[in-house]
């Protein structure tokens, strides 16, 4: 009897793991449609993406499924594809929150692929819960306006990892089947921005940024709520976002709005290929 119980428990764990893996794959496939690189190709069930190096999501391979060949050969194909475009070969590795790297991660590490800083957590919520989250302190909260395209003030306000946007950013921001751009203005300047995209049955929140001198005033919450309300107007009930794993303040804000962590992902980057054929060094 004990053996039967143990077997049943083990089977249950395997089924649970398969469900979790299936949910991760489905959400990652959907998210890829919200942020589409200028150049993409498939390698079996993998998606290869390249877009001038702006953001990891648009310049990494997404290994969802069978590449149709042994992994070692697939890694080589990825390396060749990215090096042919002058980009560091990079593979995104999604997995459960809190889990250690899996077999693919271990194989890449053994081949000398280095961890890229900045793992991210994927969070999801019901759009109605987020739109109905408690309002920021103050009567009514700030006014949030929307546009189909980001204007120059919006683009000037959004900082990716603290830096100004490259030319490739605008195309990526407009790469979803549908998107809208929210902003809050104060004293004639744009002080908070955010983007909502809709595709594959999901709404995605990206590019939320608040001017440093206007933080801790509830603007991040106001933008997030307004984006969720717009998702509802677009008849989409599920919303996701991606936040840096080390950004505790942002994760806490999104949790207060009703989001919960679903999975995480990190990147492995191949060593740089030296011209003299000697062992490469880690890419930066």
pLDDT tens for each residue of 45-90: 999 999 999 999 999 999 999 999 999 999 999 999 999 999 999 9
Q: Which of 114, 107, 126 shows the shortest CA–CA distance to 272? A: 114
* Residue 104, φ and ψ in degrees, nearest 5: -65, -40
| DSSP for 64-126, written as a single string | -S--SS-HHHHHHHHHHHHHTTTS--EEEEEE-TTPPP-HHHHHHHHTTPEEEEEEEEEEEEE
**Residue 7 neighbours by CB under 8 Å, 6+ apart:** none
pLDDT beneath 50: ranges in the chain: 1-17, 275-284
User: How far is Cα 191 from Cα 41, in angstroms, rounded to an integer?
Assistant: 38
pLDDT at 274: 53
**Which residues, other chains included, contact 246 with Cβ-Cβ below 8 Å and sequence gap of 6+?**
118, 119
pLDDT tens digits, 245-278 = 999 999 999 999 999 999 999 999 998 865 444 3
Cα distances (Å, whole numbers) of residue 147 to 139, 158, 176, 186: 24, 15, 15, 17
∠ CA 200-238-183, nearest 5°, is: 95
Query: What pLDDT score was predicted for residue 276?
Result: 45
Element (H, E) at 236: none
Domains defined for the chain, CATH in brackets: 2-120 (no CATH), 124-261 (3.40.630.30)
Please give the structure tokens belonging to residue 107.
């194989």
Residue 216: which of 240, 250, 242 has the closest Cα?
Answer: 250
Backbone angles phi, psi at 264, to 5 degrees: -130, 170
Which pLDDT does position 153 carry in this prediction? 97
pLDDT value at residue 273: 64
Would you say how long the chain is, in residues? 284
Mean pLDDT of the chain: 88
Please state the φ and ψ torsions of residue 274, each to the nearest 5 degrees. -75, 150
Question: Within a 10 A sphere around the Cβ of 3, how many other Cβ atoms?
Answer: 7
CA 130 to chain centre: 19
Q: What are phi and psi of 198, to 5 degrees?
A: -130, 125
Beta strands in 220-278 (DSSP E): 238-244, 260-269
How far is the C-alpha of 54 from the C-alpha of 112, rounded, in Å?
23
């Amino acid at each position: 009897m004990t053996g039967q119980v143990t077997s049943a428990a083990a089977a249950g764990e395997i089924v649970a793991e398969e469900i979790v893996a299936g949910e991760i794959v489905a959400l990652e496939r959907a998210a890829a449609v919200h942020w589409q690189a200028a150049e993409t190709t498939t390698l079996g069930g993998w998606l290869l993406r390249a877009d001038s190096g702006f953001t990891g999501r648009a310049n990494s391979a997404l290994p969802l499924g069978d590449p149709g060949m042994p992994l070692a050969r697939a890694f080589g194909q990825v390396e060749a594809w990215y090096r042919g475009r002058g980009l560091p070969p990079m593979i995104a590795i999604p997995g459960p929150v809190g889990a250690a790297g899996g077999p693919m991660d271990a194989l890449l590490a053994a081949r000398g692929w280095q961890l890229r800083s900045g793992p991210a957590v994927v969070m999801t919520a019901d759009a109605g819960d987020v739109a109905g989250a408690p309002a920021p302190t103050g009567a009514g909260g700030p006014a949030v306006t929307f546009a189909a395209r980001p204007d120059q003030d919006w683009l000037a306000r959004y900082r990716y990892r603290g830096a100004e946007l490259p030319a490739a950013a605008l195309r990526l921001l407009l790469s979803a089947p549908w998107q809208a751009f929210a902003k809050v203005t104060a004293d004639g300047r744009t002080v908070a921005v955010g983007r909502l995209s809709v595709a594959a049955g999901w709404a995605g929140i990206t590019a939320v940024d608040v001017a440093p001198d206007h933080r801790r005033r509830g603007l991040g919450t106001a933008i997030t709520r307004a984006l969720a309300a717009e998702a509802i107007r677009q008849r989409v009930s599920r919303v996701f976002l991606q936040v840096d794993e080390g950004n505790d303040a942002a994760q806490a804000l999104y949790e207060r709005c009703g989001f919960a962590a679903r999975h995480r992902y990190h990147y492995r980057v191949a060593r740089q290929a030296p011209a003299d054929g000697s062992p490469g060094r880690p890419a930066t």
